[in-house]
Structure 1
Amino acid sequence: MASGDLLKKLFRSFKRQDTDAFYSAALEVIAEEKKKNHNVLAEDLQKILNNGNDHKFIPADRSFERLPQDKDKGTLLVEVKSSNRMLSDLVLSPDIADQITTILDEFRDGSVLRTYGLRPKQKILFAGPPGCGKTVTAEALATELGLPLLYTRFDAVISSLLGETAANLRKVFEFAQKGTWVVFFDEFDAIGKSRQDIGEHGELKRVVNTFLQLLDNFMSDSILIAATNHETLLDRAIWRRFDEIVYFNKPEPDEIRKLVAMRLRGFPHSGLNIDSFISSMHGWSHADIERATIDAIKMVIIAGESEVTNVFFRKAVEMQKNRMGVILQNS
């Protein structure tokens, strides 16, 4: 059962008709039940919060009509998402786990830090190769803190109209200031490219300057995370604006082992020698390893067998190698 303080928070927010606070407290209840391994209850509560279906619940005062839109195309600039993902669902390197824990601890004790004239780490840069956990870690951070994820649609922010991209960025930051979120800018390099890039026109340079100003003036209680697969493209001035930089690298052998074992959890695999495949998956991203593992499980199910064995896993690994080869040839 959720703690007394959390239940009081839930009831007070309901009494005040504070939808944001109620939603945040409800997510905290779900997160607490998951920590206690009450997974069935947590899933049931999440379904109720999602109105009994797979669509994520969005508070009434944050309906789609009120989300910021691109003036020209009319497309949404942000999405409000909730997540069930916990940090315990991820395989992170010890260094990254320590960095994330510090971010969480500082956010939770932010009021204490402020009494000393200090602010918690708030502006975070996630960098590293694709498929190595940047997005899922942002989702897990939101879940752990009981906050909605404000996902910024980078493709919608970029506009062909002169001056409109900078205007879209202002709309996103103004909206983010209205609540407490984990604000997530995905594929951030699209709007954070170097001002010295001779291949870019003056408009993009103005966009970078606008973003720097908005980032400097962002004083919300939210956490802002920008994620990039191409950190070398970022303007040098942008790096200095972040309180923390977390680099997501491809998994080491021990992390590969843990990731495969985690994805196989709950599915019989006593006949599988994971260690014999680690060298074959060296240099793969987390997403590549997860895809191969899930493919192996699917093969077993379709074949009518009862467990994942070396034979099935070897075939799945080869399939993933072929897939990666095709992608490499066409990139």
Structure 2
Amino acid sequence: MKSRWIGILAFLFLAPFIGNAQILTLPDIWNSGKYSGEGVRGFRVLNDGESYVQIDEDKERELLEMNRYSIKEGVREETLVSNADITDVDGKRLSIRSFKFSDDESRIMFLTDIQSIYRHSYSAVFHVLDRNTKRLYHSGKAVRYPTFSPDGTQVAYVFENNLYLLDLASTIETQLTTDGRFNAIINGTVDWVYEEEFAMAKGFEWSPDGKYIAYYRFDESAVKEFSMDMYGSLYPKQERWKYPKAGEANSVVEVFVYSLSTKTNIKCQTGENTDIYLPRIKWTDKADILCIQRLNRLQNHWEILFANAQNGTTEVVYEEKNASYIDITDNLDFVKGSFIFSSERSGYNHLYRYDYVKKQLKPITKGNWEVDA
């Protein structure tokens, strides 16, 4: 009897809440944003070191603003951009959620219609706002990896497997390569193997002085195709792409340098053996010297090559060998005639500094422990 009264009282207490309960749906969970964690959108510290920008949203007015805040005071100082003031080519408010500044912060690039391709790769329509003139440029098409030149006056990007250069003042587009073709030749991006195994996507880099663009060229003509059914719509589509399996032919990879002054493409000499990997390129502390990493197919012999941007000649400045495997990372920085990198040569991951002039290697950290970051 006592338990019956407890049940009745519990029902009377919970009835008002049960009556007002709403059914939880999948769109509520995934699409509505009701249960999303609070965060700061588009946070970036500005060059002055005293302020930052973030994207603020007013959902009721469908308004997005890029506002500048004081780091010290935490108060809003200025609205740099509002999507109420800028529109796309169709006259619709432009999304400003995804953006990046030129190095001098005089221009802002906004990315819209972003489409994922594989794990790291994507395409997007880009728009460039000149903060001084308020002029807004629209690319009008989806491209891959639009990147400002160091002085912010030009943008390099990849379209249909070819590398392009856009002059923002004149809006003149220059095609730097012409042989790009789907499932055959790739310029300025990487193939599936490099994206998946070396965590790469963009395959070109501006030199620090803006006089050169180094880029990859992949010839995957001899790579066999793999097919897969792609689900997501009522009827699946079959996609085919180049996918080398173990022991099969990989892409033949080359590195070129485009000179903006001579308007020529210079091939870097990476050796006669083409059954190798070139998993990283990066400009050194010298504006006309490109660093190319070379790795044998067994991935146990790693070399650092320096390439002359003017003629493509190279020299091996450092190498490591391992009985089993060498991991490729982005831990490589150039400092006054030397470079700092991470290595597992001792059995533990540590930092080293190599003076490539004196050819001296010095450990920065050591011991029976590892540097994680």
TM-score tier (shorter): under 0.3
TM-score (norm: length of structure 2): 0.24
Q: Which has the higher strand share?
A: 2
TM-score (norm: length of structure 1): 0.26
Question: Higher relative contact order by CA 8 Å / sep ≥ 6: 1 or 2?
Answer: 1
